[in-house]
Structure 1
Amino acid sequence: MLRKTLAAIAEGCIYQPWRMISQRHSSGASSTVNTLLLRSLKDHYVEVSNMAPPPKVSAPANFTILKGALDSNGPVLKRTYKNEEISISVMRLANLASDEDDDDGRINQLFVHIEVAKPKLDYSMHFLCGLYPDALGIHSVALRPKLSQDGFLFMPNKYSGPLFEHLDEATRDAFHNYIEERGIDENLFPFLQAWLYLKYHRNLMRYFRTVAKFINGSEMSKATYDSAPSAGESMTAKGA
């Protein structure tokens, strides 16, 4: 799978060359070291660029992809439900806990943040959930200030609600029904999984190019990097 292969490439590029350089480095060899490193970065960049993208997945029904989402840490999807504005952000659950992806490298656990906002109110309802291929589980529900324009979630400075696990079962079930009525369930998983693969792929390519720019002291020529096609170009998340 894409994530496992990308991670292996990144590991080989980031760690092994530095160990080799530290063994061979001398005061008169900096230009040679830079040349070797730039060549390695370019090779990895091209290799990642030529990788097959994840299967094309359309955005879930009634949701739209936020412009610029791939290059930000803010929400990915949004929709309007009656008089409510709903936004969804996502990251790998493994970023917050241990890496529990499948052995073949698939991302099978996601961490999603849902904001349900209403006009004329300066606070909104925030759900933190674990999303899986066949289920969605709520970790917490809180009333907090609305998201900032850049998508960052402010930490509350006053009481925002009890622990979700302390609520009675009927109330927990009612909250699950509340978000399911708004289209938030396990059917979001295929798109958000593919979107995370694409984001990781793009970030890794940007990393190789930015490091090369730093080593070289200037922007690399388009012939060097931009000629390599991006695997993400064929995914539905165009314009994200």
Structure 2
Amino acid sequence: MSLEIKNLTGGYAHVAVLKDVSFTANDGEITGLIGLNGAGKSTTIKHVIGLLIPQKGEINVNNMTLKANKDAYHQQIAYVPETPVLYPELTLREHIELAILAYDLDHDETMAKAMVLLKKFRLDNKLDWFPNNFSKGMKQKVMIVCAFMTDAKLFIIDEPFTGLDPLAIHDLLDVVEAKKKAGAAILMSTHILATAQQYADRFVLLNDGKVRTSGTLAELKQTFNMSDANLDDIYLQMTKEAVDNHA
């Protein structure tokens, strides 16, 4: 497995947003991270990529920890954030070259991979453009290209469909499927439940900073005792539980 989270407790300024969270994201699978706003999805991701340090527990990516080898750990992960983060003074080409340096990749080989992706996302004629010339959707595509041209073992995509048109969403899902078939693990946080149900192999349902349950759709149906349910029905049931528990 590429990602293993064990008994993770963490959050911000000594406030525990996550409480004893444990789950895995397996090689060759898409794992959907599902939950209400404030359930802990983004906080979980921030811990995995090293922006937050756990108060308790541990995170392993491809049998590496951040503490043991910071650079090697980060090179196992490619991340597409919900909001694109680009350098205003760097062109698209320079963003790609910076990512090649950060991941210590072969320049020509990786640039060739990048060009295939740039063509797919209709950015191949914009290599000398600066970010202020890009729409939000185009900026998101730059983040996707910079992530998926790497040889990372774990791809984390946080609300990846925000700002993308239907064609770009289709293209992104194609790229994700290709990485899955190549044996990488994909952790995808999304509110687009129909797409998650169609593409994800397993799900982790977060509620109030805890894992409510995890497993395949069939296993979730069994847990919630909802044999005819889809992911949307299960999500609504979890929401109802959350409201009832706070009543």
TM-score class, shorter: under 0.3
If each structure's strand is expressed as a fraction of its own residues, which one has the higher value?
2
